Amino acid sequence: MKEVRVRFAPSPTGFLHIGGARTALFNYFFARQNKGQLVLRIEDTDSVRQKEDSIGQILDSLKWLGIDWDEGPDQGGDFGAYYQSQRLSFYSNAAAELIQSRKAYYCFCTEEELETERKRQRKEGTLIRYSGKCRELSKNEVRERLEQGLKPVIRIKLADFDQIIVNDLIRGLVKFKSDQFDDFIIIKSNSLPAYNFACVVDDHAMRISHVIRAEEHLSNTPKQQYLYEALGYTIPKFAHLSMILAPDRSKLSKRHGATSVSEFKDMGCLPEAIINYLTLLGWSPGEGKSELISPEQTIRSFSLDKVSKTAAVYDIQKLVWLNGQYITEYNLEKLTLYAVPFLIQAGIVSSIEAEQNHSYISAVVKTVRERVRTLQELAEASRYFFKDIIMYDEKGKEKYFRQENVAILLSEGKERLAGIEDFNVENTEKAYRNLMEELDIKGGQIIHPTRLALTGRTVSPGLFDVMALLGKKRCLERLEQAIDYINKMKS
RNA sequence: GGCCCCAUAGUCAAGAGGCCUAAGACGCCGCCCUCUCACGGCGGAAACAGGGGUUCGAAUCCCCUUGGGGCUACCA
């Protein structure tokens, strides 16, 4: 069987958004499943829309997600270069060949001329097509104009045909009638190739066997197929993935909140969770299978004909839920590593402290992880393990600190804690349980105010886990602080 | 406007003519567990866009309408 080679071909116009990431991911799944190659190609032929550093961002996001490729701009490969801007000779050679065989021609029409023509066609209600005016220019006429310094485009000369049929692996046979096409541009007047041309030349030169890309390219495929035939290339297999839409079903854009991989990263999503989420967007592991699925599992059962044809609206809530699942299951050491930057970012620890207190941080992460869903939440939930209490939760204050005799209760508690030698979860709990029994009170009566005193909040991990982590000294100090505070509240 | 793709709950999705009184997951609601929150457990509300065919039988096949998306650029 022919070797499977697929590619992901982003254009560097911004961050890697989730649609692009999913396209990359499905290419990756397909390549790995078929023991094929994934190549990364940068489509940077539009100098106007290029964004500085976009390539670096995209590569970083891909790597961070754990999507690795076999050939590409950073590590090279046998079919380079991997930037279209460095492959210009491929395109001009291919175009020259087409001109030579009279399948393409120079066109000197200016943009203004074309615009007037289009305007007229719009008014007349006819199809908007290039007239083919420059088709019949003689060699001499072309040479003359070239010598005048005019910058032509090169257009493909469409032969008569009835229709073009695209056989899409996901959508089946798709037919396009010939009247939809005109002599489209393959080389722009700045000598750079137009997308449809560059794409064909490169996919052929790079021996791409399967073109797996977003649905927005489905309508371009007949043009590309025409070009394959004109150039005598064999046509690869195509698979067009449905689009990913914003919650209002419009195209994804910045106004829809987080849409790029880097934004999800900044929110505190784990790469594995994003991968898992993206896997589920347009593909399903099948009936009765868990939705928590690793790339390895997906690679085993992935299949393009099971990919959904329907555009998907992404749902950040499910991503966040998945992320929470990953946070609780994650390797603790790795999770700590991911968490530290968020603690620093939130001003909870300094980078120096982070290095010195690694094992303490890890212990905090361990007790907090189960009830947070993002690393940002994790940082926030960890604050009082590092910082003193400067304020108490408003509602909690009213509810617990105004309880009768609460100060006395807390000082009792403090007393008991003070007497503990080995200040751990079991012993602190035992001390408190004994106290409750002696005073004949219910747990909540002392546990809630204590929690507020120790954490400043009404919500936390189990109280005795908090105590053990905080340590005896800080527990006693915070109880003292709360008692003072309560006494001041009264007066 | 023309052409193309798509259409199962709020969202992702299973479903390939009878197994459908339509899975599962997120979210939502209720209950249980419980020191709070989360986790977990149990239960609930919630969908085949509409209309025509074909068929003994349609979520599944065909047609139309509607809706959404894409392409129609010297963007990719």
Structural domain ending residue among the three candidates A387, A402, A420: A387
* Residue numbers of the domain that contains A91: 87-241
Identify, with chain letter, the residue nearest to nucleotide B38 (CA–C1'). A371
CATH number of the domain at A227, please.
3.40.50.620
Using the CA of A215, give the nucleotide whose C1' is nearest: B70
Instruction: Give me the interface pTM, i.e. the ipTM.
Output: 0.95
C-alpha A473 chain-centroid distance: 44
- Same domain membership, residue A351 and residue A363: yes
Same domain, A356 and A420: no
pLDDT at A144 over 70: yes
Q: State the nearest residue by CA to the C1' of B37.
A: A459
Looking across all nucleic acid strands, the nucleotide with the smallest C1' to CA distance from residue A163 is B3
Q: How far apart are CA A322 and CA A326, in angstroms?
A: 6
Q: How far apart are CA A451 and CA A281, in angstroms?
A: 41
A235 shares a domain with A91 = yes
The answer to whether the beta carbon of residue A155 comes closer than 7 angstroms to any atom of strand B is no
Residues A316 and A354 in one domain: no
Which pairing describes strands A185-187 and A237-241: parallel, antiparallel, or unpaired? unpaired
Same domain? For A113 and A231 the reply is: yes
| The last residue of a domain, from among A387, A415, A434 | A387
Beta bridge partners of A177: A163
In a domain, A80, yes or no: no
Do both A152 and A270 map to the same domain? no
- Angle of CA points A1, A304, A219, to nearest 5°: 105
Q: Tally the domains of chain A.
A: 4
Residues A415 and A367 in one domain: no
Q: Calculate ∠ Cα A442-A444-A448, nearest 5°.
A: 150
**CATH code, A426:** 1.10.10.350
Q: Residues with Cβ < 8 Å from A382, sequence gap 6 or more?
A: A339, A343, A348, A364, A365, A368
**A217, A191 contact by CB (below 8 A):** no
Structure tokens at A366: 């361990």
| Residue bearing tokens 């982003």 | A10
Among the listed residues A98, A127, A327, A336, the one whose alpha carbon sits nearest the alpha carbon of residue A232:
A98
Q: Which nucleotide is nearest to A42 (CA to C1')?
A: B76
Q: Which residue has the tokens 């994934």?
A: A38
Mean pLDDT lowest for which of A222-226, A400-404, A474-478?
A: A400-404
Together in a domain, A218 and A197: yes
Of chain A, the percentage scoring pLDDT greater than 90 comes to 83
A91 and A199, same structural domain? yes
- Would you give the end-to-end CA distance of chain A in angstroms? 86
Does residue A271 fall inside a structural domain?
yes
Q: List pLDDT tens digits, range A297-347.
A: 999 999 998 999 999 999 999 999 999 999 999 999 999 999 999 999 999
Average pLDDT over residues A7-16: 93
Nucleic strand B contact set for A 194-223 (CB, < 7 Å): 194-196, 215-220
- Tell whether A338 is covered by a domain: yes
Residue A47 is predicted with a pLDDT of 66
Q: Considering A341, A370, A387, which residue would you say is the last residue of a domain? A: A387
Distance of A382 CA from B15 C1′ (whole Å): 45
Q: How far is CA A473 from CA A205, A420, A432, A447, A448, in A?
A: 70, 11, 17, 18, 20
